[in-house]
Amino acid sequence: MTQDELKQEVARAAIQYVVENEIIGVGTGSTANFFIDELAKMKDRIKGAVASSEATAARLRSHGIAVLDLNQVSSMPVYIDGADEITPQGAMIKGGGAALTREKIVASVAKKFVCIADGSKLVDVLGKFPLPVEVVPMAQAVVTQKLAQIGGEPRLRMKDGQPLLTDNGNVIIDMHGLQIADPAAMEAAINNIVGVVTVGLFARQAADVCLLGTPEGVKTLVF
């Protein structure tokens, strides 16, 4: 099976976690896009969705799914999103699609976080995938210096020759070459740097369930 076929499998499997007549939180990225396409088949049985990015909101609307502002929502049963890496304990690196801050905010409102990923995303130690850090632009230089002291190599994410800007108007510094033995401790340390909006470590707010696409079928990990 191709990687896209594995993503489609977990997207279909995630539908069982959608609570009918409720609002659902939806993540960002290629696997989340497959899930949105599946969600469209039952759009008349949900109240609507909260999107973690402008791109996700646009895809939801293209399917006729109502998109709600998070400020209108006090709680929701489930948030479904992909991951760039996930450990057997449920800690994740997210933010390859530059939506880490909104993803973390929407996930914080949901009662359950369901991660959907192909099997290549399961790792024993986080860090081979560059760790994204969303940063207020005026703090880019000082935050880069402080991230370098933590370890690895911080690099400003670029797009078309310019710094990539998030939906929030911030920049992203990707930390390369890390081995993250204690994800929760590193999450706290980076989030405490002045100028950091948030880091793409989801360890203190880890996944509750991971649906993992493998050639042998979808495997369910419960944390």
**pLDDT for 165-181, tens place per residue?**
999 999 999 999 999 99
DSSP 208: S
Residue pair 86/123 in contact (Cβ under 8 Å)? The answer is yes
pTM of the entire structure?
A: 0.95
- Total residue count of the chain as it appears in this document: 223
Per-residue pLDDT of the chain (223 residues; tens, 9 = 90+): 899 999 999 999 999 999 999 999 999 999 999 999 999 999 999 999 999 999 999 999 999 999 999 999 988 999 999 999 999 999 999 999 999 999 999 999 999 999 999 999 999 999 999 999 999 999 999 999 999 999 989 999 999 999 999 999 999 999 999 999 999 999 999 999 999 999 999 999 899 999 999 999 999 999 9
**153: annotated active-site residue:** no
Please tell me the predicted confidence (pLDDT) of residue 1: 84
Beta strands across the sheet bearing 217-222? 48-51, 23-26, 76-81, 110-118, 209-214, 217-222
CA angle (193 as vertex; 187, 195 as ends), nearest 5? 120
Active-site choice (103, 134, 153, 187): 103
The side-by-side arrangement of strands in the sheet containing 92-93 is 85-86, 92-93, 201-202
Are 143 and 173 a contacting pair, CB within 8 Å?
yes
Q: What is the predicted pLDDT for the residue at 74?
A: 87
- In this structure, what DSSP letter does residue 27 have? -
